[in-house]
Structure 1
Amino acid sequence: MKPAGDDAEARTRWFADVMAGRGTERRNDLGVAVGDHTQALLVELETVFGAGAWVATVILAVAVIEAHLREQAIASGRVIDPYLNAGTLFADAGLDERFDVLRRSRNRALHVSDPPTLTVDMHWFEAERLEAEARFAIHLVAAALYGGDLPDEEEA
């Protein structure tokens, strides 16, 4: 289910390339300061993505973006409610609707529903879709943290 070795190394290189803006048209600001909390979550994000943990990648991607927005607000002296909903936080930051799509995807993974939106079978029979969603999430994290082009859709 979770390939190791060359696959994990290739995913880790891909992650680094996306974060560095390689292969994109433009990057707004390579000198963006990323706070300690966001950096720590980025390490976790890279780890789960490299391991092929697609659902965890989406969940952590939203956490990284949320942490970054909160750290930016604190650094600029703005008072921000620590319990402010991520959807409101994203909207207040002027993030594109694709970020809300990511947030809703995270919510579907975290919150139990009937019928379930997350099942064990998905890891086996929908792995390609889950991986595409995870890669899309990584692109959105890079755009939220460093600026630049947003992906139009999930990778095939």
Structure 2
Amino acid sequence: MDQLERPPEIIWDDRRAWFEDQEAQHAAAGAAAPSEQACALMIDLQAVFCAGAWAAAVILAYAIAEAQSSKRAARPQGVGEGDWKWLRALRNRLVHENPGKAAFTVEDQWMRRALWEERARRAVAIAFAALYPAPQGGEAGQKADQ
């Protein structure tokens, strides 16, 4: 079962390089340094992302971004309105199950891994935008309706 095994080293390394590239890009453009706790949580986010735990990456990315906002569930500086609404809605669907209409299924683990990876990548980009807000903000993610 691919989901329970460590990805091949080349895949892990590709994911790690992408993650670290995102961090470097956002840190170079951002105005503030993240907190100690945010840095510690980013290490966990990188681990689950590299492992391919896509739902966990989305949930953790939201927690990191939310921690950067001044009020609970408020949009953090540096994150565009569309990105924040998308991430918050997806996180809510993942952690508050709707009986009979699961947001994430066992079938998704087998058949929709590429879609969930794309969602996780967008969530990671949003978390970095919250950690390193650019002076003029903007949209961090790639697609609006995922």
Fold similarity call, TM over 0.5? yes
Deviation at 1:114, TM superposition (A): 2.2
Match of residue 151, structure 1, among 138, 141, 144: 141
Query: Aligned pair in 2 of structure 1 residues 144, 91: CA closer, same or farther (>3 Å)?
Result: closer
Q: Which structure 2 residue ranges, 5 or more long, are not aligned? A: none
Aligned residues: 134
Q: Are residues 1:6 and 2:22 paired?
A: no
Contact 1:37 1:67 (8 Å CA) reproduced: no
1:21 matched residue in structure 2: 25
Q: Distance in 1 between matches of 2:59 and 2:44?
A: 11
1:61-104: CA deviations, max 9, x gaps? 001111222xxx4xxxxxx5xxx3x1xx2279875221121011
1:107 matched residue in structure 2: 92
Q: Distance in 2 between matches of 1:41 and 1:94?
A: 18
Q: Distance in 2 between matches of 1:93 and 1:28?
A: 8
2:42 matched residue in structure 1: 42
- After TM superposition, the score normalised by the length of structure 1 is 0.75
Contact 1:4 1:51 (8 Å CA) reproduced: no
Q: Distance in 1 between matches of 2:23 and 2:77?
A: 24
3-state SS in 1 of match to 2:29: coil
- Percentage of pairs with the same residue: 31
Q: Distance in 2 between matches of 1:126 and 1:15?
A: 21
Query: Aligned pair in 2 of structure 1 residues 91, 17: CA closer, same or farther (>3 Å)?
Result: closer
1:1-44: CA deviations, max 9, x gaps? 2423111111011100001108xxx8243xx2211111111111
Deviating runs (4+, > 6 A) in structure 1? 91-94
Match of residue 105, structure 2, among 119, 131, 135: 119
- After TM superposition, the score normalised by the length of structure 2 is 0.80
Deviation at 1:110, TM superposition (A): 1.0
Larger Rg: 1
Contact 1:109 1:117 (8 Å CA) reproduced: yes
Query: Aligned pair in 2 of structure 1 residues 35, 92: CA closer, same or farther (>3 Å)?
Result: closer
